[in-house]
Structure 1
């Protein structure tokens, strides 16, 4: 590894003890990092800031447990923006963290962002919950989170927090077990930490069962969250078949249709023909409607008429009109 030098974390050259200069080529992304790093407008703005001020907040890294160099815990976007700006070195704080501590610090630092995609939440919540369970010495995985649990399955958690100071220093600290956390199940504790309900946490984690193509549709808001959760119960092969139909027919299942697909999959009676049959149904919001602006017809109704009475009168008049047309047609036919 190349030599590291103590450096400043801001353009004002204020000394930040413990922060070192690390070559970008020595950095690797966190294993199974769930947050996307794309060269979009947000990253471009970060790049411009780094060009003007440098990397003000150092990256949090640890020795790469899988090879040479360092594994980024926090700062993937800063690293990419600095690389885009032409930097070869970035400030970093090196810490000794085990895998569970690293996961918790990585997830917590990214969940502070304003915009987080559903797929990012899904894998981040799953990773953090697994790390919390390891801390609580429970070896179960998150694969069965949607199934009922024993009421007495509790964990006592040692809460870890990642704190970023104004001078760029990052502290990983153990806040201990509090009355608030003691006795809570791990998913309840996670829900409290991130401000989501336990049910919503379960829904997000269930999304990790989706194939990437359908998960991308969710991130692009082409499919609703609850519909995506229902589709996650389909087998992988069924999901690929369904995606091909959605792409070919340009149609998206609503929640009711997704739920039916799920139930048919669970009953092992779902095939591609049934998928076509369900997706080709006309949804209520797809039915054509005739809308007449009230200002065009409102003056013809008594002032005290309710919308329901107006609708009933229109329907009655149309029935009378249709009846006259039928009679007229019969006369013309003689």
Structure 2
């Protein structure tokens, strides 16, 4: 068996924390204990749905790491080494790793997880962020990611509770844990209602956010930036990914506004297999709703001042039209170049 020179076991918690009282960190994980792993061997979680710290919060984290090191180990799962040399995938600790890199560190303490399912891995990613930041402070796409996992058919409340207990114990070793494995709301409530009550959302808002999770990354970003409302996002979520990409392309190349009328039309055209590059542009630009210019001749009104000068009040329309026609023929016979200019 080939040994892995890239990960070395921490000899002691004193070494890890560089602190006088290391008891706040567990000495072993449930799988392989705590390892110091080079950051160039850890890749971010693929399609990580949460934004990293920035500005003052990031600056504070960097300064803390410079002064105290990484006080709480990160959680990674082992993967097969890929072409970029990654051997681990980050599950819990993206901000710590980012802050540590900015602080000049090249490796950090990690709890290594083996044999995790993709669902369990996603639970670590999601629940870590729910614990670390308030759900109400999350962006719409981040809330959507949390709710999508919670509403997943593969969701396991028991696994979730185990993971939450583990994450809380990392922050507070005195925590005794909870044995609760089911929703205290009972089974009579429907899934959307249960999730909504847990996060303080209405059933309709939960349903809309679940649709947001089905958008491509570019459109999710526009929802987060308030360029696209939740109601409009719901309509766009029913488009195929290729159609969503075309919408994103048109929006990125122009300054078109998105409203319910446009997204409802996009969804309708998609449902009828009529949505393509051309119709997408026409809908988003508003061109498709503009009335075509009339090809018929404009109607001409004769002012009363002119009318009374040449015609009596009891003149018939046919008589007036005949006089006007004869007068125009005579005029253009006299000035033929003017006729050419008017018909060019």
Say yes or no: TM over 0.5: yes
Instruction: Please point out which of 269, 275, 294 is paired with 1:264.
Output: 269
Q: Return the match for 1:82 from 72, 83, 100.
A: 100
- Residues 70-115 of structure 1 deviation map (CA, whole Å, 9 limit, x = unaligned): 4433111111111221113323345567424443232111124244
Q: TM-score, normalised by structure 1?
A: 0.64
**Is it true that 1:240 corresponds to 2:254 in the alignment?**
no
Structure 1 segment 16-31 matched on structure 2, within 5 A: 16=23, 17-18=26-27, 20-25=34-39, 26-31=41-46
How many residue pairs align between the two structures?
265
SS at match of 2:258: coil
Unaligned runs of 5+ in 1: 137-155, 283-329
2:145 corresponding residue in structure 1: 123
- 1:192 and 1:70 mapped to 2: Cα distance? 36
Q: Distance in 1 between matches of 2:186 and 2:87?
A: 36
Q: Highest Rg: 1 or 2?
A: 2
Q: How do residues 173-212 of structure 1 correspond to structure 2 at under 5 angstroms? A: 174-212=179-217
What does 1:262-301 align with in structure 2 at a 5 Å threshold?
A: 262-281=267-286
Separation (CA, whole Å) in 1 of partners of 2:108 and 2:43: 13
Indicate whether 1:55 and 2:62 are aligned. no
Distance 1:242 1:124, change over 3 A: same
**Cα 1:275–1:37 shift into 2, 3 Å:** same
Q: Which one has the bigger strand percentage?
A: 1
- For residues 197 and 246 of structure 1, what CA distance do their matches in structure 2 show? 30
| CA contact 2:161–2:181 (8 Å) conserved in 1 | yes
Superposed CA deviations along residues 188-245 of structure 1, whole A, max 9, x for unmatched, are 4433333333332332232233233222222333222221221122233333333333
Q: Could you say which residue in structure 1 is the equivalent of 2:294?
A: none
* TM-score (ref. length: structure 2): 0.62
Contact 2:49/2:145 (<8 A) preserved: yes
Cα deviation 1:124-175 (Å, max 9, x = unaligned): 4323433x63537xxxxxxxxxxxxxxxxxxx99744344248654988652
Q: Which runs of 5+ in 2 are unaligned?
A: 29-33, 288-304, 310-344
